[in-house]
Amino acid sequence: MAPLRSPEQSGISRSIVTWIVGLSLIAVVGLGVGLGLLHAFGLADWNKIQQARDVGKLGGTPTIPEAYQEVIDKAAERCPEVPSRVLAAQIAVESGWQADAQSPAGAQGIAQFMPSTWSQYGLDANGDGVRDVWDPRDAIPSAAELNCLNRRLVSSVSGTPLHNILAAYNAGHGAVRKYDGVPPFPETEQYVEKVIELAQRYPSP
């Protein structure tokens, strides 16, 4: 017969098991998203996505992953004020081209939509009948469309229009209107600066 355990020991054991199970579920979910992307884009494209992500981190000349080039170009047509180089830089800063990215605040996918924002502005851009925040073919065009909406909503605000559009994506159009320009939030100011700086490093189309 197994020795009796104290309630404290049993509680610790249950906590350990719960922790292990939780980590396992996270690993399975992450693997599922990764396998889904491999299925959608293919192994060769996936490797190119990884390489483009690494180049951006190292400070070299960034490239738009080949698997996303057409998606970026078509999405940018939705909002000419945010050209493809800027949209690509925006996605790179948001997620590093990681379609399975999830922030501590709950932002999801390659374009880092909060669930409430996605439910309102997410598009079924690839026409498969599903508005999928984890699918770059839906999320990237949705980001471009949101940029265009923000352009209209902050059109009367002082400052550089493109900076205001990017700030609205990060902090919300209400904050941009409230401060009559890029809000004085360190995160938002750094976000705008990073996107603009990275966009200038992308090769011309």
What residues are annotated to the active site? 94
CA distance 60 to 202: 10
Q: 164 exposed, middle or buried (CB, 10 Å; 0-12, 13-18, 19+)?
A: buried
**CA 116 from centre of chain:** 15
CA 82 to CA 150: how far, in whole Å? 11
**113 pairs with which residues across the strands?**
108
Q: 87 CB contacts (<8 Å, ≥6 apart)?
A: 72, 75, 76, 140, 143, 144, 147
| Integer Rg of the chain from CA | 20
Residue 105, number of CB atoms within 10 A of its CB: 7
